[in-house]
Amino acid sequence: MSTSPIRAVLTDIEGTTSSISFVKDVLFPYARSRLKDFVAEHAAEPAVAEALAEARDLAKRPDLNAEETAELLAAWIDEDRKAKPLKSLQGMIWEDGYRSGVLKGDIYPDVVEKLTAWKADGLSLYVYSSGSVLAQKLIFGFTNAGDLTPLFSGYFDTAIGSKLEASSYIAIAAEIGFSPSEILFLSDNTKELDAARDAGMATIGLDRGEVVIPPDTTHPIVTDFNAIDAKAGTVA
Ligand SMILES: CSCCC(=O)C(=O)COP(=O)(O)O
Ligand SMILES: [Mg+2]
């Protein structure tokens, strides 16, 4: 139960506003199938070169050439590694797909309805996802319900820190200018919810039927956004 009125909602994406199956069965295969060609064509561009260098650093494989680094990154997609350089490159590859109309951000209808209502009710809305900020703007910018980006006041990825560390949530609160206790964090991952609660945020978990929520979790759990009283930071 939150003690101060909630002024902002911070939401995860995969498993919370969009299905895990959309990310795993649509977005990841799209990026994986284009990764090698994308790296071959764009390896000299600064943002791509930086991501490739960061991947080599993370893997402690400074010897890898661009093609070998693309193979390493493809293996990371298969492992669902939430590695920042992989997430940066995925966003760049998805951009073509969204802009050409091949990809459409698949956002749950209850999310569109409730985010719109919460915004109209004066709450500020933010995103915090392992997907890059570019990927976040794309998934919400090119959705099956139109461009939802006007709903959001800001986006955060793991450049601010790991989603499993309380310090990341404290940094987000400081950046958006609210006290942690004025922020409600929504996620399907109870470890992320633990970190946000340790930072002082109100938390609600989403059980969309795709992950096993630990039965002993102490976070309130809902199956969709309709069951959330965002201003109270509790289950409706
Ligand atoms: C931003 S859409 C792509 C989602 C993605 O790549 C990802 O890793 C999502 O992780 P989340 O933190 O939103 O569960
Ligand atoms: Mg998630």
Give the model's confidence band at 4: pLDDT under 50 very low, under 70 low, under 90 confident, else very high: confident
Q: For residue 30, give its domain range.
A: 22-100
ipTM of the complex, rounded to two decimals: 0.97
On whether both 213 and 125 belong to a single domain, the answer is: yes
Mean pLDDT, residues 142-167 taken together: 97
Residue 1 lies in a domain: no
Condensed to tens digits (0 to 9), the pLDDT of residues 116-141 reads 999 999 999 999 999 999 999 999 99
CATH no. for residue 73?
Answer: 1.10.720
On whether both 84 and 135 belong to a single domain, the answer is: no
On whether both 137 and 61 belong to a single domain, the answer is: no
On whether both 118 and 95 belong to a single domain, the answer is: no
Residue 29 lies in a domain: yes
Whether the pLDDT of residue 1 is over 60: the answer is: no
Gap from CA of 104 to ligand 1 centroid (Å): 15
On whether both 74 and 137 belong to a single domain, the answer is: no
On whether both 212 and 139 belong to a single domain, the answer is: yes
On whether both 115 and 88 belong to a single domain, the answer is: no
What is the value of pTM for the model shown? Answer: 0.96
Whether the pLDDT of residue 95 is over 70: the answer is: yes
Domain boundary among 100, 134, 152: 100
Contact 158, 210 (CB under 8 A): no
Residue of 10, 130, 163 to mutate, ligand 1, most atoms within 8 A of C-beta: 130
Whether the pLDDT of residue 2 is over 80: the answer is: no
* pLDDT above 90 as % of the chain: 98
Q: Which residues line ligand 1 at a C-beta cut-off of 6 Å? A: 12-15, 23, 27, 82, 87, 90, 129-131, 135-136, 139, 163
Q: What is the pLDDT of residue 3?
A: 60
On whether both 91 and 125 belong to a single domain, the answer is: no
Q: Whose CA is nearest to atom 10 of ligand 1?
A: 130
CATH no. for residue 142?
Answer: 3.40.50.1000
Q: What is the 3-state secondary structure (H, E, C) of the chain?
A: CCCCCCCEEEECCECCCECHHHHHHHHHHHHHHHHHHHHHHHCCCHHHHHHHHHHHHHHCCCCCCHHHHHHHHHHHHHHCCCCHHHHHHHHHHHHHHHHHCCCCECCCHHHHHHHHHHHHCCCEEEEECCCCHHHHHHHHHCECCECCHHHEEEEECHHHCCCCCHHHHHHHHHHHCCCHHHEEEEECCHHHHHHHHHCCCEEEEECCCCCCCCCCCCCCEECCHHHEECCCCEEC
**Counted domains in the chain:** 2
Ligand 1: nearest atom to the Cα of 15: 14
Q: What's the mean pLDDT when you consider all of the chain?
A: 97
Condensed to tens digits (0 to 9), the pLDDT of residues 181-206 reads 999 999 999 999 999 999 999 999 99
Residue 2 lies in a domain: no
Condensed to tens digits (0 to 9), the pLDDT of residues 221-235 reads 999 999 999 999 999
On whether both 174 and 159 belong to a single domain, the answer is: yes
Ligand nearest to the CA of 155: 1
Q: What is the pLDDT of residue 137?
A: 98
Give the model's confidence band at 168: pLDDT under 50 very low, under 70 low, under 90 confident, else very high: very high
* pLDDT above 70 as % of the chain: 99
On whether both 26 and 14 belong to a single domain, the answer is: no
Residue 109 lies in a domain: yes
Backbone torsion region of residue 63, taken as left when φ is above 0, otherwise alpha when ψ lies between -120 and 50, otherwise beta? alpha
On whether both 109 and 221 belong to a single domain, the answer is: yes
Residue 3 lies in a domain: no
